[in-house]
Structure 1
Amino acid sequence: MPITLLLTLLALLIIAGLGWYALRLWRQVWQRQAAVRDNEDERNQRLAEDIEFLTNSLVTRQVPVIEGSIRIKVLLDNYSGALNSQHDCEIFTLIYDATAHIPTHQAWKALSPSERKLHEKHMQQLEEEHGERVTAAAGQLSRGLSNP
């Protein structure tokens, strides 16, 4: 056998081996992408259920307007699934931004009674001013994130 034929066969064998290896690597990439999509779909499903639960709780007054709005806004920020563009989600951001300066948890407990009263008054004003819009927006979301 001439040397060029042997080298050509060797080259073809190497190319076939590299092609097989590349295909194997691409299959791994496709499997990982599918797993990421599945995880994101599951995550979005859990978030959608949590959002619907919170909005139902807000509509039925089981959770305060301010607290519910803040929680819904955070969940919506993490949700990447289908969301009807007609839903009024801006109100949750408005409430969140308007209360961002208010301390929480241990910092709230450390406030003086007069400071707490000022924050409570501010939250009461927000609830009076935007409560109906928040309840209406929560009502929309409680019927499903992609439903009008």
Structure 2
Amino acid sequence: MQLTDFTLPLLVLALLVILALSAYALYLLRRLHNRKRQIEDARRQRSRRLKESVRLIGLAMQKGHCDYSEGVIRLKMLLDPLGAKKLNAYPAMYSLYQRVMDMPTHEARRKLEKRERMRQDHLRISSEAELAEKIKLELHQLLADINGN
């Protein structure tokens, strides 16, 4: 095979194109690897923040700084995205959550008639009192679970 004056420049050009595309592919692979690492770091940081929030709410509930009803509603929202143990792994807290989850808050609560607000308050307070001892035990388990993970 004889290389003509026309063939040699085409081969050189083809090699340059192949080298340029290879370099670009390597660049894209590196960016993809870095992006995956950033996403995983963000997931770990979010998980740490969620666990810290669960820990703080659990401690506040233990010390009486947060009502059990408010605490279980907040814990439910924090535990779901963690993907580990969900609130239903703690039967007393989950039972309380089931009883109070549909109760209106803020402006919707203010719009309720006084009698209905009092009925809901009675249900909430009596549920908290009924489940208090079990919830205290479950809070210890929840905090141990969060610290262990």
Report the TM range for the smaller structure's normalisation.
0.7 to 0.9
Choose from 67, 70, 75 the match for 2:70: 67
Distance 1:60 1:46 in 2: 21
Look up the match of 2:108: 107
The structure in which a higher percent of residues are helix is: 2
> Quick check: 2:72–2:96 contact (8 Å CA) kept in 1?
yes
TM-score (norm 1): 0.81
Q: Which has the larger radius of gyration?
A: 2
Stretches of structure 2 lacking an aligned partner (at least 5 in a row): none
Change (3 A) 1:9 1:94: farther
> Quick check: 2:69–2:124 contact (8 Å CA) kept in 1?
yes
Distance 1:135 1:25 in 2: 52
3-state SS of 1:145 partner: helix
Structure 1 runs, 4 residues or longer, greater than 6 Å off: none
Look up the match of 2:139: 138
Choose from 44, 47, 51 the match for 2:47: 44
Look up the match of 1:33: 36
Which residue identity does 1:68 align to in structure 2? G
3-state SS of 1:98 partner: helix
Distance 2:24 2:94 in 1: 49
Change (3 A) 1:7 1:35: same
Return 62-71 or 131-140, whichever deviates more.
131-140
Return 4-13 or 25-34, whichever deviates more.
4-13
Change (3 A) 1:28 1:139: same
Offset of residue 54 of structure 1: 0.9
Corresponding position: 1:8 with 2:11:
yes
Distance 2:58 2:133 in 1: 13
After superposition, what is the alpha-carbon deviation per residue over 1:111-145, rounded to whole angstroms, capped at 9, x for unaligned? 11101111112212322333233222211222351
After superposition, what is the alpha-carbon deviation per residue over 1:12-68, rounded to whole angstroms, capped at 9, x for unaligned? 221111111111112112212211221221121111111111111112222111111
Calculate the aligned-residue CA RMSD, in Å: 2.5
Higher relative contact order, structure no. (Cα contacts within 8 Å, ≥ 6 residues apart): 1
Aligned-residue sequence identity (percent) comes to: 28
3-state SS of 1:115 partner: helix
TM-score (norm 2): 0.81
Return 31-40 or 89-98, whichever deviates more.
89-98
